Amino acid sequence: MSRKALFTTIPPAQPAAPAQPPSRTRPLMGAPGLIPDAKPVGAVGKSLNEMSDRAKRAEEIERKLTQGQVIVDLDADLIDPSFVSDRMAIAPEALQSLREKIEANGQLNPILVRPHPETPGRYQVAFGHRRLRAVKEIGRPVRAVVREMTDEELVIAQGQENHEREDLSYIEKCVFAARLEQRGFTRATIISALSLHKSDLSTMLSVAKIPDGIIEAIGPAPGTGRRGWIELAGLVDDHTVAINRAIQNADFVNMDSDSRFKAVLTATKAAPDKASTEVWMSKGKPLAKVTLGGNKVALSIDRKKSPEFADFVLTRLRDLYQEFEATRS
């Protein structure tokens, strides 16, 4: 059974064939060198009816990017991951399942790599990180297509392949987008890599500002979508103490990732901690007032009553912070 190339206009179907809805898939924008022509992709060994639409499109991307290229066997130890990570750690059970499939059926689809731009004799993955890890654990050479790619072409291929597979959760896409921006890629490239609209990218970059420690503690949360993460992003700054308390709960680590997200979100809606105030006295007179509440520590000094102490504190704050940093290191 054959199918047409993903990135071209499909000729009219035969009269008896039902009309197909338009695909939301976009070409590898910004990376024309990856797609040399628009010829149809060859036959696949599995009925399209047995595959989800997104899985089909992901396979189309892989086939298009590797079409006409030579598949070679490479030593897995010579292959490094992409220079920008697009996913969190794979769950052990998912890796085991993939490893078992490859052991039983072989590696059906090659990964895509490029010659390492900094280390001669090594390679760098565009897509296929999990296949690489599974094959490496099995102890076999990995089937791969090697092609020259710029950094921009690599991240676009990497992002679009994962986006179409829907393997990346919403927060993983947010973090991936933020990492690309931090590395200096243009928003046009990021939009191409993740098949986004401009407004979607702005939202995702805002969500990615959730502290890394909180995101890593929660994990990919595959069942938690855009609305949940946007809600948490709007609450996190004012509830850091409550969130950290939830993360440090003994039961937290035993929850699945989506349950951990719910536990964190629930913590932000609990009653806020009551503020406590302590007054520092000197010779029977108030010297300063310290207020502890929520995520803030406030030190208040009345400059009319203690002007010299206020000036002393101001001049010493920077020195105190440097001393603090020195003790940490």
Where the chain has pLDDT below 50, the residues are 1-29, 36-51
Residue 252, domain member (yes or no): no
- The three state secondary structure string of 267-290 is HHCCCCCCCEEEEEEECCEEEEEE
What's residue 329's pLDDT? Answer: 64
Strands (DSSP E) contained in 78-172 are 79-80, 111-115, 123-127, 142-146
Residue 142, domain member (yes or no): yes
What's residue 227's pLDDT? Answer: 93
Residue 245, domain member (yes or no): no
Residue 311, domain member (yes or no): no
Helix (H, G, I), strand (E, B) or coil at 78: helix
What's residue 27's pLDDT? Answer: 46
Residue 148, domain member (yes or no): yes
Structural contact between residues 95 and 130, judged by C-beta atoms closer than 8 angstroms: yes
Q: Which residues pair with 282 in a beta bridge?
A: 285
H or E element, residue 258: helix 257-268
Residue 134, domain member (yes or no): yes
Residue 59, domain extent: 1-13+32-167
Helix, strand, coil fractions of the chain, as percent rounded to 5 = 50, 15, 40
- List, in order, residues 6 or more apart from 31 with CB less than 8 Å away: 149, 150, 152, 153, 156, 157, 192
Owner of token pair 């003994």: 250
Q: Number of structural domains, the chain?
A: 1
Residue 249, domain member (yes or no): no
CATH number of the domain at 75, please.
3.90.1530.10
From CA 322, how far away is CA 329, in angstroms rounded? 11
What's residue 311's pLDDT? Answer: 83
pTM assigned to the model? 0.59
Residue 287, domain member (yes or no): no
